[in-house]
Structure formats: C-alpha cells, structure tokens
Amino acid sequence: MTTQIAVASQTESVSRTGLKRELGLGSATAIIAGQTIAIGIFLTPAAMAKSLGSPFLLFLVWLLMGAMTLCGALCIGALAARFPATGGIYIFLKETYGTKIAFLYGWMCLLVMDPGLSAALAIGISSYIAYLLPLAPVQQRLVGVAIIVGVATLNVLGTNIGAGFLRWITGLKLAVLALLPIWAVLAGKGTWLNLSPFFAQHSGSVSLSHALPEAFVAAFFSFGGWWEISRIAGEVRDPERNLPRAMIFGTSVVTLVYLAVSGIFLYAVPLERVTSDQIFVSLMGEVLFGKIGADLLSLIVIVSVLSSLAAFMFAAPRVYFAMAKDGVFFPQIGNVHSRMGTPVYAILLQATLACVLTLLGTFAQVIAYFIFSTLVFLGLTVLSVFLQQRKQPFKFSFGYPFTPAVFLFLLLTLIILLGINKPLQSAMGIIVVVMGIPVHRWFKSNSIGGANE
C-alpha cells in the first residue's frame, strides 16, 4: 500500500465520524498562536532576564527554544498529514503503539490536564478582571465558570462559530502585542541603554550552570501547547498541506512575539529594577502607559489568556470524541449534533469537568503532577515518526531524521531534569496514568463498537 493510499484511507475514516473539514490555514495557525501565547509572556521574561543577567542570553534562549519547537512542530505536522484524523496525539499513539497507550494518554487528558488547564486559564482571566472590578474569591470562581460556559457554548453552536471567535480574539491579541514595541519606541518610553551590556552578565546574576537550565525549562513551558493543533486534524481542509504549514507559521509567529515583547520589556525597564515577576509587569505598565498602565496591561492580559482558553477548549474535546469512536469510551461522547455538526457531548464533558475544578480551586497542584507524564507522551509521539517511517515511508517537510532527533534529545534532557528536581510529582503522575490500564480493559470488554453515527 502506498503512502497516498494510506492517507486517503485515513481521510475516508475521518469523514465517517460526522465532523466536516471546515477549517482553513488561518484557523489552524490561530489555534497554535492563540493557545501558546498566554500569560507567560508577561511573566516569564522577567524571571529569565533576572537569572540570566544578559539580554543576549535571553534572546538566545528564546531563539533556541523556538528552533526546538519548530523541530517538534514539523514532526507533529508530518504525523497529522499522515493520519489526518480527529484526536491528534491519541491517533498517532494508537497507530504506532496500540489502543492501550493511546487510551492512557486520553485518560490523562480527560481526567486532569484538559479540565485543569481550562480551569487555570479561566481563573487567570477572572483574577485580572478582579483587579479592574473588585471581586470576592467566590465571585472570581463564578466568573471563571461563566467564561468556560461561554466559550463552550460558542464551540457547541458550530465549528465555524468557535473558530471564528478564536481567529478574532487571537488576531486582537497579536495586534496588541505588536503595538506594544511600536508604541514604546515611537513614544520614547524607554532607552536602549537598558540592554547594555548586551553580552556580559550583569552583576548579581545567577551562575550560567543554574540559570541556563532554568531558563530553558521556563521557555519550553512558555511555548507549550503547540502540539494541540493536531487534535483538530480531521476538521482541517487539505490537511496534508495545511497542517505542516500551520505548524511552521504558528511556531514562527510565537517565537517572533516572544523576542519582540521581551526586548521591549528590557527597553522599558532596566534589569536592576526587576525584583519579581509581578513588580516587573507593574513597572513596565507604568513606564509604557503612565498611571493607567496597570489597568491597560490587565486588559491586554485578559485578551491574551482568553485567546489561549478559546484555542484550548476548541481542540481538547476531540480526544474524547476519538476515544468514543474507537469504542474505548462512552459511545455518546462520539456523537455529532445533527444540525450544528459539532461533538457536542465531548465539548460539554470537558467544560463540565473544568467548571467543577474551577469551583473547587484544586487544579494548580494537580496539573503539576502530570507535566512529566505529558512530556513522556510527547516524546513517544515524536519517536513514532521514526517507527512510522520504518513501517511505511511518508512525506516529511524537511530535516529528517535530524529534526526529530534534535527534538527528542532536548525533550529527554528536560524530562530528566524534571524527574530529578520533582521526583515525587513525576512518580505520582505516572502512577495515576497507569491506573487507567484497568479502565481501558473495562471499556474494551464492554465495548459496543464505538459511538452511534
């Protein structure tokens, strides 16, 4: 069987799920940029700049992490083009390692990561709303729930409606972030002397042996989430062409934004005045916009995080949808609404769990336990590029086998660092994932052949 026949077979199987290929390159790129650029860009550069103590090193870390992300994105894009089915990493793991490994990934996403991250983003938005409109803690959680319900409703009403909102809010975010450096420079709100010395470390900086690993870890998580675009592969038009291009465009835009915003932050606030992330943001807002700087920055952060939440909630439910179609989850979750054409039950399930965690307020610590597991699954996914190439060669944009090898090496280094620094959290995350094995066995033994069409 040729690669073309294999891809055609995958595309045909997707059509039987009931989801239409309605998304173009713009929507796919918006999911990457929208989800990746969140609140981290307003906090991470401060910590990285303070520890590295050198503008050159800060920009170098962003560039290297951008290159690493691009390597990984090319791998995910190639797999999505080979298996253009709804579910993303779940599909890639299933095709390479079987349904058990794929189910464990879906189990982790459903149980913790997806609702937990949604809750964290929603509470992040409500906390900045509370800065503008004072809210009690209970009210903040209720606002967070309302935000989740609102985004889920848009996604239920139609794929084009949810994607349209995502494109709009992501475009607004990118426009605002692009205007920040332009405004700062044209209005003379800072000085390039703040970037001097450019190469040498400032006095009081952390030693490079400690600063560089911490900076790379922080940068990696600032880029985190770009792989989620693969979840909607079954709804992208011409996926063999558009998904790899979206990966390249999206990760490139994110890298440029991080470089530009980090540079203008240093232009506005000298490193010696940076004592914490929050103080740095306040100082930057005051320099750029005067007395109303904090309020304006809060609005910018709200737009940025809302874009991330919209992108994440758009893609996340597709994993449970794919699991249900494979007969390893409740079949109703795989149903598509006859009129709106959306996986309505999968969307409602993810939103409901996110609302529960938002009200309980227990998501932050829980998420931390599963970061290690997430990276392991991501590593298995990129490793599958080699395994699939051995099984049946397929098209890779460029750089094979160098590209996946570089990404796997850097990812393995990060996994080892996390395992050493947070052994208890890493072990607990793995244990909970493994607990999904008997659950998978139960679904398989009670499977009725997937969801109803």
Is 44 inside any structural domain? Answer: yes
- 378-437 pLDDT, tens digit per residue, is 999 999 999 999 988 877 777 889 999 999 998 998 898 888 888 888 898 899 899 999
Is 319 inside any structural domain? Answer: yes
Q: Burial-class residue 324 by CB neighbours within 10 Å (0-12, 13-18, 19+).
A: buried
Tell me how far apart the alpha carbons of residues 119 and 117 are, in angstroms, rounded to a whole number.
Answer: 5
Percent over 90 (pLDDT), the chain: 49
The model's confidence at residue 365, banded by pLDDT at 50, 70 and 90, is: low
Q: Distance between alpha carbon 271 and the CA centroid of its chain, in Å? A: 29
Name the least confident of 128-132, 159-163, 315-319, 368-372: 368-372
Is 268 inside any structural domain? Answer: yes
Is 9 inside any structural domain? Answer: no
Identify the CA nearest to 344 among candidates 152, 202, 163. 152
Is 16 inside any structural domain? Answer: no
- 313-349 pLDDT, tens digit per residue, is 999 999 999 999 999 999 999 999 988 889 999 999 9
Of residues 176 and 203, more confidence is placed in 176
Is 19 inside any structural domain? Answer: no
Name the least confident of 15-19, 349-353, 373-377, 385-389: 15-19
- pTM recorded for the entire structure: 0.88
* CATH number (domain holding residue 393): 1.20.1740.10
The pLDDT score that the predictor gives to residue 447 is: 65
Predicted confidence (pLDDT) at residue 276 exceeds the cutoff of 80: no
The whole domain housing 415 covers 25-445
Tell me how far apart the alpha carbons of residues 78 and 195 are, in angstroms, rounded to a whole number.
Answer: 39
Is 31 inside any structural domain? Answer: yes
Is 453 inside any structural domain? Answer: no
Number of domains in the chain: 1
CA distances from 88 to 135, 157, 243 (A): 38, 22, 11
